[in-house]
A = this chain, B = another copy of it.
Amino acid sequence: MSAPTNAANPTAAILLIGNEILSGKVEEENARFLTRELRALGVALRRIEVVPDVTDDIADSVRALAGRFDFVFTSGGVGPTHDDVTLHAVAAAFGMEVRRHPDLEALLRAGYGDRLHERDLRMADIPAGARLEYGPAGPRGDARAPWPVIVVRNVWILPGVPSIFRRKFEAVRELFRAGPIHGRALYSREGEGQIAGALDEAVAAFPDVEIGSYPHPEARDYRVKITLDGRDAAHVDGALAWLAARLGDAVVRTE
């Protein structure tokens, strides 16, 4: 288990690999799912990138993201066809060779049975520095799902098919659990220009609370939603109380 469960403020990036997302052929589901999961786990998602099925593009993104964030999750490009280049790209990102992994080959042979085509074994060709992560439950010792997640350094390689993406992530999710992120909100009947000065003061007074301001022109009873997030619940609540007092009659409600 490599997840730094004691890290105070773990960060993450998501790298979606797939022409089908960029061409609008499929509705993107995996980043939406993982964004919610990471938020619930207390992992701060700091970047999402969507790149085409091009080895150099993927390798460049993997290298940059892995060097900057605690965890990188990739989605897609791990099947046996010509457009599945993610494993080679991750290997290239770290200067590793690609080798057939005997445990994965055994899982594929057992799982596919008579339907296995030689070509399917390409899914067992992974970076030489990879490890297989089964999650807290460990390997089941048979070919039933979930299969292990392939992990290279801090890069967690997940498949693009949404149902399998979810199943695999759920098997390992408890490895990433960190302290919760507390979120509160305030709704203002005044516009952003009117409240911007008060927000500046709150940002300065509560440096560990992340304050966001979002106009909602279609809302009926307010004009701006202000969000407050942080690791320390007392600080977040304190910032909310301070801001509510400062904005006075502009406050429609808090939550």
Q: CB within 8 Å of B: which residues of A?
A: 16, 19-28, 32, 35-36, 38-39, 44-53, 57, 79-84, 112, 115-120, 122, 160-161, 163-164, 181, 183, 191-197, 199-200, 203, 210-218, 227, 229
Complex: chain B residue closest to A33, CB-CB: B24
Query: Mostly helix, strand, loop or mixed at chain A's interface?
Result: mixed
A212 vs B79: C-alpha distance in the bound complex, in angstroms? 12
Q: Is the CB of B116 within 8 A of A193?
A: yes
Q: Is the CB of B229 within 8 A of A23?
A: yes
Give chain B nearest CB distance to A88 CB in angstroms: 15
Q: Is the CB of B191 within 8 A of A115?
A: yes
Q: Is the CB of B117 within 8 A of A194?
A: yes
Give chain B nearest CB distance to A28 CB in angstroms: 8
Give chain B nearest CB distance to A242 CB in angstroms: 15
Residue contacts A-B, CB under 8 angstroms, 25 given: A16-B48, A20-B212, A22-B44, A22-B48, A23-B39, A23-B45, A23-B229, A24-B35, A25-B212, A25-B227, A28-B32, A47-B50, A47-B57, A49-B49, A53-B212, A79-B192, A79-B215, A80-B193, A81-B199, A82-B213, A83-B212, A112-B193, A117-B196, A119-B194, A119-B196
